[in-house]
Homo-oligomer: A and B are copies of this chain.
Amino acid sequence: MVVRDEARKMKLAAPHMAAASMEMRNSALAKIIEVLEENREAIFRENALDVQAAEENGVAQATVKRLKFDENKLRDAIAGIRQMIGLEDPVGKVTLERELDEGLVLKRVTVPIGVIGVIFEARPDALIQISSLCIKSGNCAILKGGKETARTNRILFSLVHSAAVAAGLPESCLLQVELHNEIDELLKCQGDVDLLIPRGSNKFVQYIMDNTNIPVMGHAAGICHTYLDEKADLAKSVPVIVDAKTQYPAVCNATETLLVNRKIAEKALPVVLQALTEKGVKLRGTKEVAELMSAWQAAGKLGNADNAAAYEVEIMGEDDFATEYTDLIISLKLVDNVAEAADHINKFGSHHTDCILTEDDEAAEYFLQMVDSAGVYRNCSTRFADGFRYGFGAEVGVSTGKLHARGPVGLEGLVTYKYRLIGNGQLVGDYVSGKKQFHHRDL
């Protein structure tokens, strides 16, 4: 397959896809549910072969678990599509309507972006979720999934695509790309592909960003912070820190760095670190934190000596704070106040999601205002940064860029707009000469 030619074909089909009625797009989604249910056994069979191959190739057990597509995951995927059918149409919303002058009316109307390339990790439900989002939002999509779920993706794509076409959507509305080298072809399709959404490792996303002129939406790194303020309520805050770090450490919205106000360090750190180390979290931190911990340990402030090793803090340099662990490791640093915390986050963070734990309204407001991230939180876990949790139905990814869409990206992030101007023969010359004047009346 020559990706460039297929992308060109898709580009020409995109206006037809964009013009498909919401009824047709929803009926495509309903048909997808049907064919998934009818073909469950075949899907599970293909998935079992993927899982078997992964096990034979010595893929880690945790990863193999993620590859499995079973009754529960199918049920969740179908529930997700059903929910999407119920969501409001993101296309055709009038976001501005203005009479520029008598009989000259401007409307800004939301429209699909066009052709979107999504490169996603090996997770069998990802293909269903992403293609459903694109169909609902009237976009054409080129899909490239992780190779460990190749067989599952192949049968899922064929079912989803045939259901979409059966509902009346253009043949070229969806395309599956399977070979890794085709990613590089895809990166060269500027002009035909309007947007790329890469998901996966930092290194992979960064590679995509560095090697294409197509706009890219996504995040290379998720370096999230939690700042424990002087006025934090410890009983409330400690479980939040533990949740933010340990509830699912492999994902981008897990906290990587804990900043602690120096004034409460002596009271708070022993409690916080006991809770974290009990969950198996390894500690890294500034020399100051390491020395404090040693001193406290020597003074018997850190509970029993059984887990002395667990309290050891590996000393890290300043630049190390720009590290995403996606693992049970946390970076620790003391700061003087909320201003220093915000500066640190703006300097070393990835503008993803950062939280302040405090009962002080002024410090909270300062933090929410000054931290330059897609999500700024008070008194809750950074793990909430997610399209489902925000009520978006689903997400295609999380954006740490500032343009277009920021944070979890759902249907709204998959549309743009066009200006429609309807006149009856108006000339610009008449307005330049002063013969006519704009009155700009919003309707």
Q: What is A's interface to B at a CB cutoff of 8 Å?
A: 11-12, 14-16, 18-19, 98, 100, 104, 106, 113-114, 194-195, 209-210, 213, 215, 217, 233, 236-237, 239-240, 243, 247-248, 342-343, 346-347, 368-381, 383-385, 389-391, 401-404, 406-407, 416-429, 431-432, 438, 440
Contact = CB atoms under 8 A, between A and B. Distances in A.
Given A343-B12, A391-B98, A422 B379 contact: yes
A106 B440 CA distance: 34
Contact of A374 (B248, B375, B419): B419
Contacts of A373: 418
Contacts of A209: 213
Contact of A418 (B19, B375, B391): B375
A423 B432 CA distance: 54
Nearest to A423: B380
A407 B419 contact: yes
B425 A380 contact: yes
A240 B369 CA distance: 49
Contacts of A431: 389
A100 B391 contact: yes
Contacts of A14: 372
Contacts of A380: 104, 421-427
Contacts of A417: 406
A98 B438 contact: no
Given A239-B425, A379-B423, A418-B375, A346 B390 contact: no
Contacts of A432: 247
Most B CB within 10 A of own CB, among A209, A248, A347, A404: A404
